[in-house]
Amino acid sequence: MKKLINQPENSLNEMLLGMTKAYPEYLTRLENTNVLIRQNLDGQKVAVVSGGGSGHEPTHAGYIGKGMLDAAVAGDIFTSPTPDQIYEAIKAVDRGKGVLLVVKNYSGDVMNFDMAKELAEMEGIEIEQVIVNDDVAVEDSTFTAGRRGIAGTVLVHKIAGAAVERGWDLQKVKAVAEKSIKRIHSMGMALSPCTVPSAGKPNFTLAEDEVEIGTGIHGEPGTHREKIKTADELTEELFNKIQADEPIKSGEEVALMVNGMGATPLMELYIVNNKVHDLLKSLGTTIHRTFVGEYMTSLEMAGMSLTVLKLDDELKSLLDDPADTPAFKIIN
Amino acid sequence: MKKLINQPENSLNEMLLGMTKAYPEYLTRLENTNVLIRQNLDGQKVAVVSGGGSGHEPTHAGYIGKGMLDAAVAGDIFTSPTPDQIYEAIKAVDRGKGVLLVVKNYSGDVMNFDMAKELAEMEGIEIEQVIVNDDVAVEDSTFTAGRRGIAGTVLVHKIAGAAVERGWDLQKVKAVAEKSIKRIHSMGMALSPCTVPSAGKPNFTLAEDEVEIGTGIHGEPGTHREKIKTADELTEELFNKIQADEPIKSGEEVALMVNGMGATPLMELYIVNNKVHDLLKSLGTTIHRTFVGEYMTSLEMAGMSLTVLKLDDELKSLLDDPADTPAFKIIN
Amino acid sequence: MAELNQVIGALNHAADIIENNKQHLTELDGAIGDGDHGINMSRGFSFVKKTLDEGSFETAADLFKKSGMALVAHVGGASGPLFGTAFLRASMTLKDKTEITIEDYINLLKASIEGIKMRGKSDAGEKTMLDALIPAYEAGEQAVQQGKNTVEVLQAVKEGSEKGLKETEKLVAKKGRASYVGERSIGHQDPGAASVALILGAIADYFSEA
Amino acid sequence: MAELNQVIGALNHAADIIENNKQHLTELDGAIGDGDHGINMSRGFSFVKKTLDEGSFETAADLFKKSGMALVAHVGGASGPLFGTAFLRASMTLKDKTEITIEDYINLLKASIEGIKMRGKSDAGEKTMLDALIPAYEAGEQAVQQGKNTVEVLQAVKEGSEKGLKETEKLVAKKGRASYVGERSIGHQDPGAASVALILGAIADYFSEA
Ligand SMILES: Nc1ncnc2c1ncn2[C@@H]1O[C@H](COP(=O)(O)OP(=O)(O)O)[C@@H](O)[C@H]1O
Ligand SMILES: Nc1ncnc2c1ncn2[C@@H]1O[C@H](COP(=O)(O)OP(=O)(O)O)[C@@H](O)[C@H]1O
Ligand SMILES: [Mg+2]
Ligand SMILES: [Mg+2]
Ligand SMILES: [Mg+2]
Ligand SMILES: [Mg+2]
């Protein structure tokens, strides 16, 4: 394990310090917590709070700012934050108009946010929660924990944050966030694993000619393993899985995200993007916006995920609204 | 070598296609070339053209747009583009007000841009060239090729592009670009090498406990090798080298870039940023703006570089001017 | 069975055992989850130790509540709210008791199971911590019925949890992260179940050695 | 010495030799540069072959000019403008000749050296292609003075370049990427010099076998 860190147990704290020092105009740290909140919380608006384990940077705190998040709660690496921390975040950003929690569907995140929600409700804070489950790699069934939330979550932040900036009330913000969740589908793969510093070694190993398909964002193994193929073939495989789950039809309009897992050169993501565009075009689909880059990572894992968001007029215009955060900016 | 590519010899073309498909509102490809140019070139302004080998994404084409570049010429991976390509770029974006070439100080880049400049001058195009040489790892001496241009080049794009948007003429744009170059100092290191696809294996190898100090951006070995240390120690080592070269004094104001080489988790870059801020603060320096992320990469190399730009009022206000490009946005 | 200082002793011993097995728990989680379970539990239980060290407790309920809050606030992940809820539910069964009987212990296990089921929306057979806890409870309950003594009942609880843990190898995970690897989870023990077995084992050992 | 079709034959042979040594050149560049020299040269010379195949040439100057343009447009890196300039300068010495004498060849090497020095702002002893090309030229020049025959002069040029190449091992690189590794470049041959030796060697071999 070769990393630019000091003591593994200090990494989270030092990262948060590094973020606040990099972006004083965007965010500040809530004292004695691992919560970063938006600088100059403006207006009497609904607040959007997200969070989860760390190691996914720029997720979550990179999305704090105008048109996205008001607070991000950071857990240890790949570990859900605890209810007390989430509760502090909620209290800090609630401006009397209520708080929307955007939670990724992991047992840990869901349970910790649930407990925080209960604490906040006891204080009389109006609070709603949406659970993002965009990962089509995992069977969605009542016999499982359901689908995971992965990179598509960033688009939910964007949609919810835009709705908030428009002055919508909590129920309306929640409703449009839920609509977007239903329309977001993602699928990922890895070329190499990653190492949690405190564990000291990777969670799985791959041969030089193997890739892992259907991976999540915590360095966990995926649904299966196969021989490496060309970028075009791998892209088509992931895309077909999304397409099988929620067919994309001719005439539909989508937003596309090609997300790098941490160690994948941007060059490779563009090569993948080239192929996905061709696949979408061949279905007669219009691609309204494309996001290529590292939006939700797994430390230094190599690999990528594809996310397709089916737009309607409302989602399209919310997606196009301005956003100004360290890691996601939309300029109109 | 495990990569998301198809045929190595097609990677450059497919990447350029992927970029044009991702950012149709920003850029378009000059037919039959590896040149991307800005969409809707506006006004009768000076044009800024940069370029170099590929594999440094988002450099260069990611900086095409308002307030930065008008064209980016892409060579093969880590290989300077050829004069004919650069010449096409110059012709495409010149609007009669002349063209500034921003070139990194590599023999190959300098010579190919020189030849292109000669071709353009023969056509009567007014043309100037600045050579970026921010890398303090390399001795600057008349007995060598001089210092390399590395991540600090992005800030030169920003300064020159802002000057252009203000309507400055070619000589004034060149002068301020040159001023910024004198004030930019960078230093990099690597935790792991990278592999050029067509070569198939990395250019150097490092033991599990070794790091390479003073690396450039082409996967070449650095000035020396040493045992891995903590992030704080490595950061201080790089910072001291910059500081020894061009002392940063109390009361000065700087812009700071903590640049990831490709595979380094953003978390680690923030940990580094935390330390650099402390070092700068302890010198009594004000940090006006901080950029943390992947600005100039070396494929999937792990490591980072630090860049310090000493500001004056003019540079500060040019740096703060709005910019809107795929990979670099400043919103005011 | 136990006065407050013995309860403290037993929980401290459980915390030590978790600490000693940090690496092992993490490896179990690495195989089918995200490889942090040992780290999470060790961090959480170090705060339980701190709580036990620094606090003064009027009642057993108080002791369990504060330990549970330490777990909720410091374990994180899925196991944090689950073990935390288990302790908090246990606390609720103890009210103002200052001593715990073996029947109290069995009751407290039952309440913990209910808490985990509620919080985790989970049930037996889904390859979770419940699959060690439920057989542990059942074995203990049966031993009480059979009139066994405290040490024997604690031993039955320990063995029940270990048997349950062993059985988790055969199960397909249906809750938690391990559910994502589906059939591939077969052949591996559930890390949360392993933690349960370690804790219940440590408690039994503490009292049988005492 | 050579008519146009023989010049074409010799350059084609040089291109094949470069292609066969692609890996070797890349490895030399990997040690002290960025590991692309073989790739650059092979790409560039494949376009020289294409140019020679498809073009028709009135004069030797025309042939060298078009080959040089192919190198400029397709080698890239540092070696592209340098080998390109070398060919373009060579072309300028040949004017409307349709045959090349051994004296022309030596002249053309001299002009190439001047072109490279101008373009590269470099000189002898800086561990570059010049350190193979200059001794090659000097050895050829001397052999001509001594009245050696064509094949002997070509052989002298070849040996001069190889000797020069060998000597680059001892030099510290002062130009090009290799200058960044400073003292660490000692002990390695310069890749550009290796290309020069391969090309001049291929030309000598072509005519001695003919
Ligand atoms: N819904 C659930 N109900 C009961 N136990 C669960 C549930 N989800 C997870 N677990 C338990 O939690 C353990 C994993 O804990 P841990 O690794 O600490 O958290 P995480 O999965 O968030 O990384 C599993 O081995 C399992 O025993
Ligand atoms: N200024 C220069 N003058 C003469 N030769 C040079 C100069 N710079 C580089 N070279 C030659 O170019 C070779 C490297 O070429 P190549 O690897 O193709 O380009 P790059 O260095 O751009 O990757 C060196 O080995 C050296 O012989
Ligand atoms: Mg976890
Ligand atoms: Mg090169
Ligand atoms: Mg886990
Ligand atoms: Mg090279």
Give the number of residues written for chain C.
210
Interface residue B223 vs chain D (CB under 8 A): yes
At a CB cut-off of 8 Å and minimum separation 6, what does D140 contact? Answer: D105, D106, D109, D153, D154, D156, D157, D160
Q: What is the pLDDT of residue C112?
A: 98
Interface residue D51 vs chain B (CB under 8 A): no
Scanning A257-276 for CB atoms below 8 A from B yields 258, 262-274
For ligand 2, say whether the CB of D85 is within 6 Å of any of its atoms: no
- A45: exposed, middle or buried (C-beta count within 10 Å: 0-12, 13-18, 19+)? buried
Is residue C206 within 8 A of residue C10, CB to CB? The reply is yes
On the question of a cis peptide bond just before residue A58, with omega within 30 degrees of 0, the verdict is yes
Q: What is the pLDDT of residue D30?
A: 87
Is residue A176 within 8 A of residue A317, CB to CB? The reply is no
Average pLDDT, chain A: 95
pLDDT digits (tens, 9 = 90+) for D87-123: 999 999 998 999 999 999 999 999 999 999 999 999 9
pLDDT digits (tens, 9 = 90+) for A309-327: 999 999 999 999 999 999 9
- Give residue D180's pLDDT band: very low, low, confident or very high (50, 70, 90): confident
Q: What is the pLDDT of residue A138?
A: 81
Chain B closest-CA separation from residue D34 CA (Å): 5
Interface residue A199 vs chain C (CB under 8 A): yes
Task: Tell the residue nearest (CA) to atom 22 of ligand 2.
Answer: D77
Q: What is the pLDDT of residue B244?
A: 95
Q: Is 80 exceeded by the pLDDT of residue A47?
A: yes
What's the CA-to-centroid distance between A143 and ligand 3, angstroms? 21
What's the CA-to-centroid distance between C12 and ligand 5, angstroms? 23
Across A194-211, average pLDDT: 89
At least 3 CB pairs under 8 A between chains B and D: yes
The ligand 1 atom nearest the CA atom of C41: 18
**Which member of B115, B144, B223 has the closest CB to residue D72?**
B115
On the question of a cis peptide bond just before residue B60, with omega within 30 degrees of 0, the verdict is yes
CA distance A326 to A81: 22
Pairing of strands B224-227, B253-260: unpaired
* D81: chain B residues, CB-CB within 8 Å: 83, 108, 111-112, 114-115
Dihedral pair phi/psi, residue A250, rounded to 5°: -55, 140
What's the CA-to-centroid distance between D108 and ligand 2, angstroms? 20
For ligand 2, say whether the CB of D176 is within 6 Å of any of its atoms: yes
Dihedral pair phi/psi, residue B288, rounded to 5°: -75, -45
Is residue A193 within 8 A of residue A202, CB to CB? The reply is yes
Task: Tell the residue nearest (CA) to atom 12 of ligand 2.
Answer: D79
Determine the structural domain holding residue D175 and report its residue range: 2-209
Interface residue C192 vs chain A (CB under 8 A): no
- Cβ contacts below 8 Å, chain A against chain B, sum to 182
User: If you measure CA to CA, which chain B residue comes closest to D180?
Assistant: B138
* A54: chain B residues, CB-CB within 8 Å: 267
For ligand 2, say whether the CB of D78 is within 6 Å of any of its atoms: yes
Across D151-179, average pLDDT: 95
The two tokens of residue B322 are 């709005």
Across A143-167, average pLDDT: 93
Q: What is the pLDDT of residue B192?
A: 96
User: Quick one: DSSP state of residue A292?
Assistant: E
pLDDT string in tens for chain B (332-residue length): 899 999 999 999 999 999 999 999 999 999 999 999 999 898 899 999 999 999 999 999 999 999 999 999 999 999 999 999 999 999 999 999 999 999 999 999 999 999 999 999 989 999 999 999 999 998 766 556 789 999 999 999 999 999 999 999 999 999 999 999 999 999 999 999 999 888 788 878 999 999 999 999 988 888 899 999 999 999 999 999 999 998 999 999 999 999 999 999 999 999 999 999 999 999 999 999 999 999 999 999 999 999 999 999 999 999 999 999 999 999 98
Closest CA to A115 of C29, C88, C39: C88
Interface residue B14 vs chain A (CB under 8 A): yes
Q: What is the pLDDT of residue A219?
A: 85
Proportion of chain A above pLDDT 90, given as a percent: 89
What's the CA-to-centroid distance between D29 and ligand 6, angstroms? 6
Proportion of chain A above pLDDT 70, given as a percent: 98
Q: What is the pLDDT of residue B140?
A: 66
Touching D (3+ Cβ pairs <8 A), the chains are B
For ligand 1, say whether the CB of C78 is within 6 Å of any of its atoms: yes
CA distance C120 to C130: 10
Q: Is 90 exceeded by the pLDDT of residue D194?
A: yes
What's the CA-to-centroid distance between D64 and ligand 6, angstroms? 24
| Pure H helices in chain C | 4-20, 22-32, 37-54, 60-74, 79-94, 102-120, 130-145, 150-168, 191-209
- Cβ contacts below 8 Å, chain A against chain C, sum to 112
Helix and strand counts by DSSP (H, E) for chain D: 9, 2
Query: Which ligand lies nearest to the CA atom of residue B203 in the structure?
Result: 6
Is residue B234 within 8 A of residue A4, CB to CB? The reply is yes
Across C153-177, average pLDDT: 96
Structural domains of chain B in order of their starting residue, each with its CATH number: 8-182 (3.40.50.10440), 184-327 (3.30.1180.20)
Q: What is the pLDDT of residue B221?
A: 80
What's the CA-to-centroid distance between A139 and ligand 1, angstroms? 18
Proportion of chain D above pLDDT 90, given as a percent: 89
Across A61-76, average pLDDT: 97
pLDDT digits (tens, 9 = 90+) for C70-88: 999 999 989 999 999 999 9
The two tokens of residue A8 are 């593994």
The two tokens of residue A181 are 């969740």
In this structure, of A89-98, B168-177, B234-243, D33-42, the range with the lowest mean pLDDT score is: D33-42
Q: What is the pLDDT of residue A142?
A: 57
Query: Which ligand lies nearest to the CA atom of residue D80 in the structure?
Result: 2
At least 3 CB pairs under 8 A between chains A and C: yes
At a CB cut-off of 8 Å and minimum separation 6, what does B40 contact? Answer: none
User: If you measure CA to CA, which chain C residue comes closest to A298?
Assistant: C34
**Which member of A82, A139, A222 has the closest CB to residue C72?**
A82
The ligand 2 atom nearest the CA atom of B107: 8
For ligand 2, say whether the CB of D177 is within 6 Å of any of its atoms: yes
CA distance A181 to A153: 8
pLDDT digits (tens, 9 = 90+) for C99-152: 999 999 999 999 999 999 999 999 999 999 999 999 999 999 999 999 999 999
Interface residue B19 vs chain A (CB under 8 A): yes
CA distance A255 to B152: 33
Q: Hey, are the CB atoms on A203 and C30 less than 8 Å from each other?
A: yes
- For chain C, the domain total comes to 1
Pairing of strands B35-38, B329-330: unpaired
* Strands of B69-219, DSSP E: 71-77, 99-104, 127-132, 184-192, 210-213
CA distances from C20 to A258, C14, D156 (A): 42, 10, 76
Domain with C83 in it: what CATH number? Answer: 1.25.40.340
**Which member of B22, B209, B291 has the closest CB to residue A292?**
B22
Interface residue A226 vs chain C (CB under 8 A): no
